[in-house]
Amino acid sequence: MELSERFIKILEDEGFTHVFEWQDKPGTIYQTHTHKGKVTIFITDGSVTFDFSGDKKEVKAGERFDVPVGAPHSAIVGSQGALYVVGEMIEGDS
């Protein structure tokens, strides 16, 4: 089973109602935003750095990150881009 397939199964087993793969180009920027429900990502290739008011967290290939509900944050994709699996409890909340 591929890494992304394993991550999809994990998130579905945890009850996430919307699970999908996503890819971003190097340097993609996500402006400050929040999530109304639980959002979890598994990075399968590359990296993404999240910024919570100056507290930065880089998430790399093979790692999981549970985005805190309601916490304002921004993100920037690493120099090699990123491929990841996203799980949302509320569809469209990413």
**Where exactly are the structural domains of the chain?**
3-88
Residue 60: predicted pLDDT = 97
Residue 69 main-chain phi, psi, to 5 deg: -60, 130
What is the Cβ-side half-sphere exposure of residue 16, based on CA atoms within 13 angstroms? 23
pLDDT digits (tens, 9 = 90+) for 37-92: 999 999 999 999 999 999 999 999 999 999 999 999 999 999 999 999 999 999 88
Residue 2: predicted pLDDT = 80
With cut-offs at 50, 70 and 90, classify the pLDDT of residue 1: low
Cα–Cα distance for residue pair 11/80, rounded to 1 Å: 25
Query: What is the pLDDT averaged over residues 25-44?
Result: 96
Cα–Cα distance for residue pair 44/7, rounded to 1 Å: 9
> What do you get for the CA distance between the two ends of the chain, in Å?
26
Fold of 3-88: Jelly Rolls (2.60.120)
